[in-house]
Structure 1
Amino acid sequence: MVLNPPAEKKPEVLQGTTLQQAFDDFVAVRKKLKARTLCDYQRIMKTVFADWQNKAMLKINKDMVAKRHSKIGAEHGEAYANLSMRFLRALFNFAIAQYEDCNGHSILRENPVTRQQIWHNQFFTCLGGNAELSLYFITFSWRFSTLTIKNVFKHF
């Protein structure tokens, strides 16, 4: 039984680690993932990152991530684009922590999924697209903890 798959690989091999290999290691290490979460991750790997599965993680850069985020948003929606980027960011964070050279330094120097300003703002979406209701929460956010749904709707 392998407890830490990345630790058993040589640094030279790790530099060529593909997105799929990192995902396989991620799943092997994270044994407590719920079935639904694992299913979502697998679906994202097969649909969103199908053409990146055999790409070395070192070859994936910030510009590629930004373009992919825009493409996903246009094809599958903003929420799915953000979900996919959160998954990819988690996968890179895992790889940064797990894949080290013989000196104990991470093979990946940075996570390319850090441009949060490119992510779609979903604040209005999560409130049913109601701009007035969203504006109410923004304007009175200091009172948010004392508000209830009943109190909010009596103002409209």
Structure 2
Amino acid sequence: MGMKMYPKDHALLQAAGNIEERRGNVTAARDLYSASRHIELSAPALIAPEDVAEGPNIAMVRKLFNEALLIGPKHGPVYNAFGNLERRQGNVDVAKQLYEDGINANCTDAPSVFHGLAKLHLSLGEVEEARSVLQRGLALFGGGSANNSNNYNG
């Protein structure tokens, strides 16, 4: 009903895309995300295709992530999603740089970027590096003393 009343509201189209994605309607979700992008480019709308791509065109997804970073250079979810994509593609150095770039940009949702970088280190068997990243994040964002992290067993 809201989309009929406000057909040019990109946020409503994006929300509807999220609903369709959760329901498993990939084509409908992709169409709604695309319609949202045509009304107003925003970082969340640009990263949405990565989540619903069937056999994603990696070059296109990378292009969208780069556009999202130009539009929202402090949008943490973009750094995290882009880093996750590159990690899954086996581009460890690129993924690591993306996570670090997000951290250095003092981006929104930085804890998720620290978490992404720590997961990357863990996937490489680098437990101490992962612990160090998580301790850096805790020191910046609270959540307890970094000394308490010594109880972490990986």
Q: Please, what TM-score do these two structures have when normalized by structure 1?
A: 0.29
Compare CA radii of gyration and give the structure with the larger one: 1
Q: Which structure's relative contact order is higher, taking Cα pairs within 8 Å and 6+ residues apart? A: 1
